[in-house]
Amino acid sequence: MTFEPRTMYEKIWDAHVVADMGGGESLLYIDRQLLYEVTSPQAFEGLRTAGRKVRRPDLNLAVADHNVPTTNRRGGLAAVEDEESRLQIATLERNAAEFAIPYIPLTSPRQGIVHVVGPELGLTFPGTTIVCGDSHTSTHGAFGALAFGIGTSEVEHVLTTQTLVQRRSKTMLVHVDGPLAAGVTAKDIILAIIGQIGTAGATGYVIEYAGDAIRELSMAGRMTICNMTIEAGARAGLIMPDEKTFAWLAETPFAPKGQELERATADWRMLASEAGARYDRTVTLDARRIEPMVTWGTSPEDVIPISGTVPDPAKEVDPERRARLQQKLDYMGLEGGSALAGLPIDVAFIGSCTNSRIEDLRAAAELARGRRIAAGVRALVVPGSGAVKAQGEAEGLDRIFMEAGFEWRDPGCSMCLGLNPDRLSPGQRCASTSNRNFEGRQGPGGRTHLMSPAMAAAAAIHGRLVNPGKLEA
Amino acid sequence: MTPFIRLEAIAAALPIANVDTDMLVPAKYLKTVSRSGLGRALLHGLRFDQQESEIPEFILNRDPWRASHILVTLENFGCGSSREHAPWALLDFGIRCVIAPSFADIFHANCLKNGILPVTLPRSEIDILLADSSHQNTACLIVDLVTQTILRVNGECISFKMDAASRDRLLNGLDDIDRSLGYKALIDEHEVAAMAAMPWRPFVSRARLDSLG
């Protein structure tokens, strides 16, 4: 019997197959499920209707984030003014209590965005499987965990069986070689990758990211990369765990301690893809050529360097593509062929599961220190969790931001999606560190430009889109 | 789940690529705690103006397409958010079958869980069906999952492929959870083995979570 060298994905997959169900389907064991208020109520209702139980409450964790207002958190549920939002959060609380699922209440100092809180607590481990009814579950792949978003019916399936019916994905290796240029961040790398392969470029694949540029990133940067993997259509993103990963995990409250940690770390070292392992597709990027990136359109693949110009419909020969391009430009209020640098903005949003960790806030604060935001601009800083907020305050970032005119808010998904009071008004243009620039994503009629925290902070200060590396004092 | 066997119905053309689930169901409709009643939310920004009045030119606001049960559309349909509200809204509106050159991964899985048939066809055949479903006289299609064919008004047949397991589940309206619960003994076994292999895996009790402060 010969053993083919395996990729990290294949190792994790093999270790979690409970049964071959035939027809290419496998029953896959799920080590952790994260729950929040929007995509779980119907799953719990399904359990009640069928008279089913939660198999492993201790492998689930619930926290509200999408609907949560980012002010007056201490007021708890009573301070949620929107009646439907309050009911949805109350339903999560009630379901967690009824099914004995660990729950982080609104008033807890640990509350925050589920994909920020999970890793922070030490519930995201290499070699494990993690799911959540949210597409940005891919974030957790930064630790070498196989993590992916699922629908509500699948949430119910996991609650009941702690498994999912899955087909094995194809594998894609995305190699980002060479050092990054100064001022280029993880966000720019992932936007460049999506720009290159397209928003459906990785459909059916699990991506493994490798190369010097990925290895050099902090855990926060790696989470940014894996977070937006879903924007390329992939099932999941993975990064090989290394010393940075182990050091990060050792600091978390739920991490194993002492000998148990040594044993775990030894196991995690075994996860790396083996030499000679085959990938179905390989994509290579030269990190040295990646510039600070920004989106111009209504899909994350509509992305160019900040020094670039918006595509011109007049130069598009295919009539269908020309019409679609024109629609996007009309929605965004842009002229074909125009430069993005210099474009005036109304709002800057620094936050979301993509870019709300302490490293992101430090990068933005670096730009904001001693400066003022431009007149007429509203700028929000929304830490990803209570822990990030506390850390930011301990470092004095809150003062830097507030002195510069930024709002320093309570944790939550905030303006990433129009589900809580933080929304764009029709026609408003936003420099945003979030992950989706779909029409109406940040509020009906809102115009989103995706970018790094540094570029968003620079945009707030200048009142227009600008290369953060070229910001003058 | 309602089985999907054969559907004779009006098809509506939605010739837009990368229709995302935010477009299928805007965020403000996600505050519901129920699966039903999302029909009005479906493609809300395309169907209604800011005063909540119907936009008369939009295909789903015109006869006979108000009564569409089939949608013909373009690449990467259902990309973005994992919200199952998207297939729930399609169902509540009456759509039981979506035909496209490609689908986003999570949306495709969500369709299968809700008895919606996602049919994948090459772009050349999609273009034929888009033309059919744009005209009143040709908009009626017969989608047959038993024979895996789509019958056009002119009598021509287009064949499609689907994996056997998903097809069987749709044809019989089977619930995945019941099937998976049948593997309980193997799940138990796996859990014991995983506990030994990954003793460092954290379990979370409410008490331990509370003790963190």
What CATH number is attached to the domain comprising B45?
3.20.19.10
**Whether residue A352 is found in the same domain as residue A233:** no
Domain that holds residue B89: 6-174
Residue A87 lies in a domain: yes
Tell whether the model's pLDDT for residue B169 goes beyond 80. yes
- Cβ atoms of A136 and A153 within 8 Å: the answer is no
Residue B201 lies in a domain: no
The number of distinct structural domains making up chain A is 2
Q: How far apart are CA A377 and CA A462, in angstroms?
A: 9
User: How far apart are the CA of A167 and the nearest CA of chain B, in angstroms?
Assistant: 11
Tell whether the model's pLDDT for residue B1 goes beyond 90. no
**Whether residue A188 is found in the same domain as residue A105:** yes
- B62 touching chain A per CB within 8 A: no
Half-sphere exposure of B188 (CA within 13 A, CB side): 5
| Cα radius of gyration rounded to whole Å, chain B | 21
Residue B141 lies in a domain: yes
Half-sphere exposure of B8 (CA within 13 A, CB side): 1
Please name which of B66, B178, B158 lies closest in space to residue B113, comparing C-alpha atoms.
B178
Whose tokens are 């998976």? That residue is: B180
Residue A161 CB: number of other CB atoms within 10 A? 25
Q: Which residues of A228-264 are buried (b: 16+ CB within 10 A; e: fewer)?
A: bbbbbbbbbbbbbbeeebbebbeebbbbbeeeeeeeb
User: Which candidate from B79, B177, B202 shows the least CB-CB separation from A123?
Assistant: B202
CB contact under 8 Å between B84 and A39, yes or no, is: yes
Amino acid at B92: D
Q: Which residue of B has its CA nearest to A164?
A: B180
User: Which candidate from B35, B75, B163 shows the least CB-CB separation from A42?
Assistant: B35
Contacts by A132-135 with C-beta closer than 8 Å and gap 24+? A132/A33, A132/A34, A132/A35, A132/A36, A133/A35, A133/A36, A133/A38, A133/A39, A133/A40, A133/A43, A133/B82, A133/B84, A134/A34, A134/A36, A134/A39, A134/B81, A134/B82, A135/A230, A135/B80, A135/B81, A135/B82, A135/B106
Domain that holds residue A375: 294-466
Alpha helix ranges (H) inside chain B:
21-24, 44-47, 85-93, 105-113, 123-132, 164-172, 176-181, 184-197, 206-211
Residue B181 lies in a domain: no
Domain end position, chosen among A258, A291, A324: A291
Instruction: Tell me the C-alpha to C-alpha distance, in Å, between residue A70 and each of A435, A453, A459, B126, B173.
Output: 19, 19, 22, 45, 43
Q: What are phi and psi of A177, to 5 degrees?
A: -95, 150
User: How far apart are the CA of B117 and the nearest CA of chain A, in angstroms?
Assistant: 16
Residues 6+ apart with CB under 8 A from A130: A30, A31, A32, A33, A34, A118, A124, A137, A140, A145, A146, A147, A148
Q: Mean of the pLDDT values across residues B84-108? A: 98
Q: Which residues of A touch B75 (CB under 8 A)?
A: 200
User: How far apart are the CA of B175 and the nearest CA of chain A, in angstroms?
Assistant: 10
What is the pLDDT at residue B202?
Answer: 87
**Whether residue A89 is found in the same domain as residue A223:** yes
Residue B44 lies in a domain: yes
Low-confidence ranges of chain A (pLDDT < 50): 473
In terms of phi and psi (left: phi > 0; alpha: psi -120 to 50; beta: otherwise), the region of B43 is left
Q: How many helices (H) and strands (E) does chain B have?
A: 9, 7
User: Which candidate from B76, B84, B186 shows the least CB-CB separation from A199?
Assistant: B76
**Whether residue A277 is found in the same domain as residue A224:** yes
CB contact under 8 Å between B177 and A50, yes or no, is: yes
What is the pLDDT at residue A2?
Answer: 62
pLDDT digits (tens, 9 = 90+) for A69-97: 999 999 999 999 999 999 999 999 999 99
Domain end position, chosen among A272, A291, A310: A291
Mutate to test the interface with A, among B16, B84, B188 (most CBs of A within 10 A): B84
Residue B213 lies in a domain: no
Residue B208 lies in a domain: no
- B211 touching chain A per CB within 8 A: no
Residue A472 lies in a domain: no
CB contact under 8 Å between B202 and A102, yes or no, is: no
- B127 touching chain A per CB within 8 A: no
Residue A159 lies in a domain: yes
Q: Mean of the pLDDT values across residues B49-73? A: 97
User: Which candidate from B18, B113, B203 shows the least CB-CB separation from A59?
Assistant: B203
What is the pLDDT at residue A473?
Answer: 47
The number of distinct structural domains making up chain B is 1
Domain end position, chosen among A263, A291, A319: A291
B64 upstream amide cis, omega within 30 of 0: yes
Q: How far apart are CA A252 and CA A361, in angstroms?
A: 20
**Whether residue A302 is found in the same domain as residue A265:** no
Residue A473 lies in a domain: no
Residues 6+ apart with CB under 8 A from A362: A395, A397
pLDDT digits (tens, 9 = 90+) for A325-356: 999 999 999 999 999 999 999 999 999 999 99
Q: Which residue of A has its CA nearest to B198?
A: A264
Q: Which residue of B has its CA nearest to A41?
A: B33
- DSSP type of residue B79: B
CATH of the domain at A316: 3.30.499.10
CB contact under 8 Å between A133 and B82, yes or no, is: yes
**Whether residue A372 is found in the same domain as residue A270:** no
What's the token pair of residue B100? 């496209």
- Cβ atoms of B135 and B152 within 8 Å: the answer is no
Sign of dihedral through CA atoms B200, B206, B207, B213?
positive
- Cβ atoms of A222 and A128 within 8 Å: the answer is no
Q: How far apart are CA A363 and CA A187, in angstroms?
A: 12
**Whether residue A343 is found in the same domain as residue A422:** yes
Half-sphere exposure of A21 (CA within 13 A, CB side): 22
User: How far apart are the CA of A370 and the nearest CA of chain B, in angstroms?
Assistant: 35
Residue A471 lies in a domain: no
What is the pLDDT at residue A471?
Answer: 63
Q: How far apart are CA A278 and CA A434, in angstroms?
A: 33
Q: How far apart are CA B82 and CA A147, in angstroms?
A: 13
CB contact under 8 Å between A31 and B194, yes or no, is: yes
**Whether residue A126 is found in the same domain as residue A274:** yes
Q: What angle do CA B134, B139, B144 make, to 5 degrees?
A: 130
Residue B205 lies in a domain: no
Q: How far apart are CA A315 and CA A301, in angstroms?
A: 19
Residue B156 lies in a domain: yes
Average pLDDT over all residues of chain A: 96
pLDDT digits (tens, 9 = 90+) for B24-58: 999 999 999 999 999 999 999 999 998 999 999 99
User: Which candidate from A121, A157, A418 shows the least CB-CB separation from B177?
Assistant: A157
- CA trace torsion A353, A356, A358, A364 (10° rounding): 150
DSSP A98-157: HTT--EE-TTSTT-B-HHHHHHHHT---TT-EEEESSGGGGGGGGGT-EEEE--HHHHHH
User: How far apart are the CA of B131 and the nearest CA of chain A, in angstroms?
Assistant: 14
ipTM of the complex: 0.96
**Whether residue A345 is found in the same domain as residue A247:** no
Q: Which residues of B touch A47 (CB under 8 A)?
A: none
**Whether residue A282 is found in the same domain as residue A342:** no
Mutate to test the interface with A, among B1, B24, B31, B103 (most CBs of A within 10 A): B31
